[in-house]
Structure 1
Amino acid sequence: MQSLKNKKMGERQEKILYALSELGALSRSQLQHMFDLGSKRNANRILQQMSEYLHHVRLNENVYYLNKQGRELVGTTKEFRKNGQIEHALMRNDIYIFYHYPKTWKSECKTEWKENGKEYRIISDARFTYHDQLYFLEVDLQQQMAKNKQKIELYASLFRVIQRQQIGEPILLWYTVSQTRKEKLGKWCKEYEISYEVLCKDF
Structure 2
Amino acid sequence: MNQLVKREQRVENILLSLKKLSYLSRSQIQALHDLGGERNAQKILKSMGEYLNSFREGETVYYLSKEGRERIGASRVNKKTTTAQHYIMRNTLYIGYQSPETWKNEIRFSVEGIATVICDATFTHGKQRYIIEVDYMQKMNANKAKIQKYKKLIDAGVFENVLPKFVWITTTEYRRKQLQKLSKGLDVQVFTISEFN
Same fold (TM over 0.5): yes
Q: Do residues 19 (structure 1) and 48 (structure 2) align?
A: no
Equivalent pair of 1:176/1:199 in contact (CA under 8 Å): yes
Specify which of 185, 188, 197 is matched with residue 189 of structure 2: 197
Q: Do residues 119 (structure 1) and 114 (structure 2) align?
A: yes
Q: Do residues 151 (structure 1) and 146 (structure 2) align?
A: yes
RMSD: 1.8
In 2, the alpha carbon distance for the partners of 1:153 and 1:17 equals 37
In 1, the alpha carbon distance for the partners of 2:175 and 2:78 equals 28
Could you tell me which amino acid in structure 1 is paired with residue 23 of structure 2?
A: A
- Match for residue 177 of structure 2? 183
In 2, the alpha carbon distance for the partners of 1:164 and 1:124 equals 14
Question: How high is the TM-score relative to the length of structure 1?
Answer: 0.88
- Match for residue 103 of structure 1? 101
In 2, the alpha carbon distance for the partners of 1:138 and 1:61 equals 23
Deviates more, 1:169-178 or 1:35-44: 169-178
In 2, the alpha carbon distance for the partners of 1:83 and 1:43 equals 23
> Where in structure 2 are there 5+ consecutive unaligned residues?
none
- DSSP 3-state at the match of 1:10: helix
Equivalent pair of 1:163/1:169 in contact (CA under 8 Å): no
Question: How high is the TM-score relative to the length of structure 2?
Answer: 0.91
Residue 39 (structure 1) shift: 0.7
Equivalent pair of 1:99/1:130 in contact (CA under 8 Å): no
- Match for residue 127 of structure 2? 132
Question: CA 1:186–1:72 in 2, change beyond 3 Å: closer, same or farther?
Answer: same
- DSSP 3-state at the match of 2:78: coil
Equivalent pair of 1:108/1:125 in contact (CA under 8 Å): yes
Equivalent pair of 1:162/1:170 in contact (CA under 8 Å): no
Equivalent pair of 1:162/1:169 in contact (CA under 8 Å): no
In 2, the alpha carbon distance for the partners of 1:9 and 1:76 equals 20
Deviates more, 1:130-139 or 1:62-71: 130-139
- Sequence identity, in percent? 39
In 2, the alpha carbon distance for the partners of 1:173 and 1:60 equals 24
- DSSP 3-state at the match of 1:102: coil
Equivalent pair of 2:114/2:152 in contact (CA under 8 Å): no
> Where in structure 1 are there 5+ consecutive unaligned residues?
1-6
In 2, the alpha carbon distance for the partners of 1:88 and 1:188 equals 21
The number of residues matched between the two structures is 191
- Match for residue 165 of structure 2? 171
Where in structure 1 do 4 or more consecutive aligned residues deviate above 6 Å?
A: none
In 2, the alpha carbon distance for the partners of 1:77 and 1:163 equals 31
- Match for residue 51 of structure 1? 49
Q: Do residues 73 (structure 1) and 65 (structure 2) align?
A: no
Could you tell me which amino acid in structure 2 is paired with residue 197 of structure 1?
A: Q
